[in-house]
Amino acid sequence: MASMLTPYVNLVDGRAREAVEFYASVLGGTPQVTTFGESGMEGPFADQVMHARLDTPAGFVLMVADAPSEMVQVTVGSNVSLSISGDAGDAAALRGYFSGLAEGGSVDEPLAQAPWGDEFGMLTDKFGIHWMVNIAGAAA
């Protein structure tokens, strides 16, 4: 898989599932949804969407997630992050993108092993744009 750039929308008020289903009705495709609970979180956010991915027939990819205020501070209007992802074969390039984008900005979460098995990190670039980088783990 080649690396790809993906918009990532964070929504407040637990509306991510509603939003990704709406986008699917307009753009086509079937959403793939993972809740916080499916990733091991218990409590009031367990049923909220940690990640929803929509791959459309036109080749668009859109990610949508709930952003509980206790976990993520979201200001409507700046609630979009850019996500660069790829597989282990792209790891060197993806790590280079991460360090390059972090220059003059801030690393919010260093690249490290994530609970879902991939290498993942987040940063805010010097222009205030939020980025996520995900390097898929080796296939089982």
pTM above 0.75, yes or no: no
Distance CA 48, CA 53 (A): 14
Residue 62 belongs to domain spanning: 4-135
Distance CA 49, CA 61 (A): 17
Please check whether residue 34 lies inside any domain of the structure: yes
Contacts of 42 (CB under 8 A, 6+ apart): none
Contacts of 9 (CB under 8 A, 6+ apart): 19, 62, 63, 64, 65, 79, 80
Please check whether residue 140 lies inside any domain of the structure: no
The neighbouring-strand residues paired with 34 are 51
% the chain with pLDDT above 70: 91
What percent of the chain is helix, strand and coil (3-state, nearest 5)? 20, 35, 40
| pLDDT category of residue 45 using cuts at 50, 70 and 90 | confident
Please check whether residue 100 lies inside any domain of the structure: yes
pLDDT, tens digit, 9 for 90 and up, residues 63-97: 999 987 777 776 666 667 788 888 899 899 899 98
pLDDT, tens digit, 9 for 90 and up, residues 96-114: 989 988 989 999 999 999 9
Domains in the chain: how many in total? 1
Instruction: Give the domain CATH number at 51.
Output: 3.10.180.10
Distance CA 131, CA 33 (A): 21
Please check whether residue 41 lies inside any domain of the structure: yes
pLDDT confidence of residue 119: 96
pLDDT, tens digit, 9 for 90 and up, residues 13-22: 888 999 899 8
